[in-house]
Amino acid sequence: MNNRIDAVYARQSADRKDSISIESQIEFCRYELKGGTCKEYRDKGFSGKNTDRPQFQELISDIKKGLISKVIVYKLDRISRSILDFSAMMELFQQYSVEFVSSTEKFDTSTPMGRAMLNICIVFAQLERETIQKRISDACYSRSLRGFRLGGKAPYGYRTEPVRIDGINTKKLTVNPEEASNIQLMYEMYAQPKTSYGDIVRYFAEQGILFFGKELMRATVALMLRNPVYVQADLEVYEFFKSQGADIVNEPADFTAANGCYLYQGRDAKNPKETDLRDQLLVIAPHEGIIPSDIWLTCRKKLMNNKQMQTSMNATRTWLAGKIKCGRCGYALTSIANRTGRRYFRCSRRLDNKSCDGCGTVRTAELEVFIYQQMAKKLASYQILTNRKKEKKINPKVTTLKVELTQVDNEIDKLVDSLTGANNILLSYVNAKISELDSRRQGLIKEIAELTASAISPEEVKQISGYLGTWETVSFDDKRRVLDLLVTVIQATSEKVNIIWKI
């Protein structure tokens, strides 16, 4: 404990004239040290609404390693503006005997009164954050009523250019001719009764046409076909949205077939605007529409009756989820049950647009048994690990990658939770987003594996051996943990299985 050091933590969400810089925060905190040394942790460009910050996570890690004796901040909301997060931090400080000092608020966490004052202040810090959020929400709502674009990436088919509306600087969408022709073709194709999402994505894949630099996915097609940003809004469009319960800002006379529309999430809307138009906010936009209303409405009504297959991305289907990839295209394999209940792996890319021949017949249960056997053999031949030193050097890059991996895992968990009660179109969008995050997750896992190759400790080898020896009784989560410790990725087809090991 005598070798423990003091830590200074500083956070700044954005560079603004009314915000104190990280350098100034550090200077205030160093005054508390009275010339002593410390380790600095700096998070620039991160909000205080949660603790998903690289340097903050490194500070937590150092506290748990017993390296820190005192944490000094400029103000307690630099740690967090969340009551729950801050309470958890206080418990952690007490558990590891770490003092907490706020250089401007002078709190003493060693007394009940000091802890009570901290909790009171964090309540007001959270209130301040929620008040700011409310002001931002009100400002966005006000701007949306006037047809202002609220930011974000321009939809495919358009680009943005600066414009001044009612004395306010904003951005306006202008047509991108090449992309707009692809959007028009997409709508014309889907307006045909027998054309499906799959037909459209296959066509563009065969033509080598990319959307935002990627192959078109069915979920993307569904979102584009629903977006009123493209429609030449006339009275029929007005009547359609009115019949669906949308809150229409403009008068019917404004629907002249010249402009597209913006659809915003309504304040009183119970469901996402992609799935339910009731109480959503529709505004005539200043940009030019590119899809005639009759074609847009034909597609929109067809979509309302469309039933789309949901591909399972839930990790509870198989403990191989997240590691198992198609041996032909590299996309994730999904475990799907047939009519008899037997589960098979299917290539997610083939399910989406048939641009891959697929992995062939790969039974989920049989592959799980095979991977278990291969893990047991691999570990048995890795006895040299028992002679390795217990101490492992910490690579800062690995820490950063693991923080990002945790963030990606959290995003995936949130998306999986959102599937409950969602309709088919939202399910398709969520599944596509999960697939995208899973690709990033696998990239991070591979990079971490390369940096920590052969870094399993003797204790971990012993634990894994115990799990493999009683595999039938091991919990689902522990099976996934063992797999994660041993395997980077599994590439599978009915003819061949290739395992990329971490050891």
CB 265 within 8 A of CB 273: yes
* 115, 163: one domain: no
pLDDT digits (tens, 9 = 90+) for 243-269: 888 888 888 888 888 888 888 877 777
Last residue of a domain, one of 134, 149, 169: 134
Quick one: pLDDT at residue 185?
95
Number of domains in the chain: 3
Quick one: pLDDT at residue 457?
59
pLDDT of residue 454 exceeding 70, the answer is no
CB 90 within 8 A of CB 109: yes
Quick one: pLDDT at residue 215?
87
pLDDT of residue 295 exceeding 90, the answer is yes
Please tell me whether residue 345 adopts helix, strand or coil conformation: strand
* 99, 183: one domain: no
Average pLDDT, the chain: 78
**More reliable by pLDDT, 63 or 276:** 63
Is 388 a domain residue?
yes
Is 247 a domain residue?
yes
- The vertex-154 CA angle with 250 and 309, nearest 5°, equals 90
* 339, 363: one domain: yes
Quick one: pLDDT at residue 363?
93
* 211, 260: one domain: yes
Range(s) of the domain holding residue 497: 315-393+449-501
Task: Tell me the three-class secondary structure of 222-244, residue by residue.
Answer: HHHHHCCCCECCCHHHHHHHHHC
* 267, 185: one domain: yes
When mean pLDDT is compared over 93-97, 211-215, 289-293, 317-321, the highest value belongs to: 289-293
Share of the chain above pLDDT 70, in %: 73
* 325, 300: one domain: no
* 88, 237: one domain: no
Q: How far apart are CA 315 and CA 416, in angstroms?
A: 9
Q: For position 269, which CATH number holds?
A: 3.90.1750
- Provide the total of helices (H) and of strands (E) in the chain, helices listed first: 15, 14
Residue range 10-33: mean pLDDT, rounded: 81
Burial track 63-82 (b if 16+ CB lie within 10 A, e otherwise) = beeebbbbbbbbbbbbbbbb
Is 241 a domain residue?
yes
pLDDT digits (tens, 9 = 90+) for 223-244: 999 999 999 989 889 888 888 8
Q: For position 89, which CATH number holds?
A: 3.40.50.1390
- Helix-helix angle 218-226:424-451, to 10 degrees: 140
Q: Which two tokens stand for residue 501?
A: 């090991």
Is 288 a domain residue?
yes
pLDDT of residue 326 exceeding 70, the answer is yes
Is 177 a domain residue?
yes
* 79, 118: one domain: yes
Is 120 a domain residue?
yes
* 126, 84: one domain: yes
Is 407 a domain residue?
no
pLDDT digits (tens, 9 = 90+) for 104-161: 876 656 566 666 666 666 666 566 656 655 554 554 455 545 555 555 688 899 988 8
pLDDT of residue 412 exceeding 50, the answer is yes
Quick one: pLDDT at residue 289?
92
pTM score of the predicted model: 0.44
**More reliable by pLDDT, 490 or 413:** 490
* 117, 261: one domain: no
* 201, 117: one domain: no
Quick one: pLDDT at residue 117?
65
Q: How far apart are CA 100 and CA 115, in angstroms?
A: 10
Quick one: pLDDT at residue 322?
78
- Using a 10 angstrom Cβ sphere, with 0-12 exposed, 13-18 middle and 19 or more buried, the burial of residue 163 is middle
* 269, 361: one domain: no
Quick one: pLDDT at residue 390?
43
Band of pLDDT at residue 307, cut at 50, 70 and 90: very low
Is 245 a domain residue?
yes
Of the candidate ranges 68-77, 95-104, 107-116, 322-331, the one whose mean pLDDT is the lowest = 107-116
